[in-house]
């Protein structure tokens, strides 16, 4: 299973309540329930969750826990304050107009002392794709900003979330997206090289040798950066502006 967040580092344990905000097809949700924790996936795109939600419920029951998915907006999470012990938000903040507002909602639903993992694309990889063409950023649902880690960490700090660690992931995926960008992103799936590299990525998943090679590439050309944060028990928060219309 290809995960961006290190669930060991996030310290996901049996009995924890875990929110995956921007869950997509739920890869982190499935990782969470495999540890006996409760997973709630949340995403704006209902179609991406349609089939995965049924499978998640079934696998969660088999694991003796709970797994559910719901549709909604990250600016208005339908959960009481302090609901979750752990929160994951993977590859979302580069898509939303007010990442500070989104971070405030994630902080609100996190229990005091709870931990979060928020991932974004690395600025280096994003600039590289941009040099190869505009489609990566101009496609519908594409990225609207390139983050520096400090920028995200400072935004989270305004909501009482203290960054305690940084990780990197998906070194194999940077060349893949370089290739897709070079092959004109909207038509990239028609390229034999793109299809061949995607097949390589699928086969590499779970291989110990490939994992070791990617661990090295994560220091050279990571695609994703992970900020690990904690919600302080007595965090002081400042008022944030309303999200852009």
Mean pLDDT of 180-190: 81
Quick one: which of 186, 214, 224 has its CA closest to 91?
Answer: 224
Check whether 235 has a pLDDT greater than 60.
Answer: no
Sign of CA dihedral 94, 99, 103, 105: negative
Q: Does 236 have pLDDT greater than 70?
A: no
pLDDT given for residue 207 in this prediction: 87
pLDDT > 70: percent of the chain: 91
Check pLDDT > 50 for residue 237.
no
Overall average pLDDT of the 162-187 stretch: 88
- The string of DSSP codes covering 156-212 is HHTTTEEEEEEEEE-TTHHHHHHHHHHT-GGGGGG-HHHHHHHHHHHHHTT-HHHHH
- 140, two tokens: 């519908």
Distances (CA, A) of 182 to 91, 132, 145, 173, 176: 22, 6, 20, 14, 10
200-223 pLDDT, tens digit each: 988 888 888 888 998 898 888 899
Q: Can you give the pTM of this predicted structure?
A: 0.87
Closest CA to 10 of 62, 74, 65, 85: 85
CB 197 within 8 A of CB 176: yes
Tell me how far CA of residue 187 lies from CA of 65, 183, 196, in angstroms: 42, 7, 15
State the maximum Cα–Cα separation within the chain, in Å, rounded to a whole number: 55
**What is the architecture, at CATH level 2, of domain 17-231?**
3-Layer(aba) Sandwich (3.40)
Please state, in angstroms and as integers, the Cα–Cα distance from residue 195 to each residue in 143, 198, 244, following that order. 23, 5, 38
When pLDDT is cut at 50, 70 and 90, the band that residue 239 belongs to is very low
54-111 pLDDT per residue, tens: 999 999 999 999 999 999 999 999 999 999 999 999 999 998 999 999 999 999 999 9
Average pLDDT in the chain: 89
49-63, 153-167, 172-186: which has the minimum mean pLDDT? 172-186
Specify the long-range contacts of residues 57-66, CB closer than 8 Å, at least 24 apart.
59/30, 59/33, 60/33, 63/33, 63/34, 63/36, 64/36, 65/14, 65/33, 65/36, 65/37, 65/38, 65/39, 66/38, 66/39
């Amino acid at each position: 299973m290809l995960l961006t967040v290190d669930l060991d580092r996030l310290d996901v344990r049996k009995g924890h309540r875990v929110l995956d905000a921007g869950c997509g097809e739920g890869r982190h949700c499935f990782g969470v329930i495999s540890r006996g924790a409760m997973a709630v996936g949340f995403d704006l795109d209902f179609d991406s969750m349609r089939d995965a939600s049924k499978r998640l419920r079934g696998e969660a029951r088999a694991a003796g826990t709970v797994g559910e998915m719901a549709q909604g907006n990250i600016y208005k999470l339908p959960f009481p304050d302090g609901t979750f012990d752990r929160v994951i938000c993977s590859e979302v903040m580069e898509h939303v107009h007010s990442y500070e507002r989104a971070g405030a909602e994630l902080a609100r639903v996190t229990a005091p002392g709870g931990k979060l993992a928020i991932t974004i694309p690395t600025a280096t990889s994003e600039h590289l794709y941009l040099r190869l063409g505009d489609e990566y950023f101009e496609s519908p649902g594409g990225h609207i900003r390139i983050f520096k880690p400090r920028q995200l960490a400072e935004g989270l700090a305004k909501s009482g979330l203290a960054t305690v660690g940084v990780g990197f992931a998906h070194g194999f995926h940077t060349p893949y997206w370089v290739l897709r960008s070079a092959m004109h992103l909207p038509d990239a799936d028609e390229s034999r090289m793109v299809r061949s590299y995607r097949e390589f990525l699928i086969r590499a998943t779970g291989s110990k040798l490939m994992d070791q090679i990617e661990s090295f590439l994560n220091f050279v050309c990571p695609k994703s950066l992970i900020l690990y944060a904690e919600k302080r028990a007595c965090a002081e928060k400042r008022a944030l502006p309303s999200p852009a219309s």
